[in-house]
C-alpha cells in the first residue's frame, strides 16, 4: 500500500485548489454529507477527490455532483459502488436560503472547497463565489511566483 497524500491539516481529506484559482470566494458554509458506509471507509484511506465537483441547488436542497470517492477493493462485496454518485448536502434551512438567494439574486456560484473530518464526521466546506476574470488569474499567479521567489531568497541568506 502506498502512503496517503500529505494534507495541509490532519483533518483534511481533499481540497479543491482550482476553486481558489478560478473564483473569488466570498462566504463559506460547512455542510454535512449523506454518505454510504463504503464511502466513509474510503475517505479514511484518503481516496476522495473534489477537483471536478460542483454544488447544484434544486427543489430546496443542495447536492454535490462530480466528487470522486474511489471504493476500496475490500469495502463492499455485495454491491457495486459508484465512485461519482450524487451526494446530498446536509444544511440548515437558513443556510440553504442564503445559498439560494446568493445564487439567484446576486449571481454567485456555489463551489465545494474542502472536505474534512470534524468530530468523526465528514464535512464539506462550500463557498459562494464570483468567477475571476483572466487578468485576475494572472495577478494571482504573479503573486504566487513572487512569494516563491521571496522564500528562495530568504533561504539562501
Please check whether residue 61 lies inside any domain of the structure. yes
Domain that residue 89 falls in: 12-132
Please check whether residue 38 lies inside any domain of the structure. yes
Record the pTM. 0.74
pLDDT tens for each residue of 18-47? 888 888 888 899 999 998 888 888 888 888
CATH of the domain at 95: 2.40.280.10
Average pLDDT, stretch 63-77? 83
- Find out whether 55 and 62 touch, Cβ atoms under 8 Å: yes
Please check whether residue 22 lies inside any domain of the structure. yes
For 76-143, where are the E strands, in sequence order? 87-90, 109-118, 121-131
Please check whether residue 157 lies inside any domain of the structure. no
pLDDT tens for each residue of 91-105? 999 999 988 888 888
Taking residue 81's Cβ as centre, other Cβ atoms within 10 Å add up to: 15
Which SS3 state, helix, strand or coil, does residue 84 take? coil
Report the domain count for the chain: 1
**Which residues pair with residue 89 across a beta bridge?**
33, 62
- Find out whether 130 and 111 touch, Cβ atoms under 8 Å: no
Please check whether residue 69 lies inside any domain of the structure. yes
Please check whether residue 3 lies inside any domain of the structure. no
Please provide the distance, in angstroms rounded to a whole number, between the alpha carbons at the two ends of the chain: 40
Amino acid at each position: 500500500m502506498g502512503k496517503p497524500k500529505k494534507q495541509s491539516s490532519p483533518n483534511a481529506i481533499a481540497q479543491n485548489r482550482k476553486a481558489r484559482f478560478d473564483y473569488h470566494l466570498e462566504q463559506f458554509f460547512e455542510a454535512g454529507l449523506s454518505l454510504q458506509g463504503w464511502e466513509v471507509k474510503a475517505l479514511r484511506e484518503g481516496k476522495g477527490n473534489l477537483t471536478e465537483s460542483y454544488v447544484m441547488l434544486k427543489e430546496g436542497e443542495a447536492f454535490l455532483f462530480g466528487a470522486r470517492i474511489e471504493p476500496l477493493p475490500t469495502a463492499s462485496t455485495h454491491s457495486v459502488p459508484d465512485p461519482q454518485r450524487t451526494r446530498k448536502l446536509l444544511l440548515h434551512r437558513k443556510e440553504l436560503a442564503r445559498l439560494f438567494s446568493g445564487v439567484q439574486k446576486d449571481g454567485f456560484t456555489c463551489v465545494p472547497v474542502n472536505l474534512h473530518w470534524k468530530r468523526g464526521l465528514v464535512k464539506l466546506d462550500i463557498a459562494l463565489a464570483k468567477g475571476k476574470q483572466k487578468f485576475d488569474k494572472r495577478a494571482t499567479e504573479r503573486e504566487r511566483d513572487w512569494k516563491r521567489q521571496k522564500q528562495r531568497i530568504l533561504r539562501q541568506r
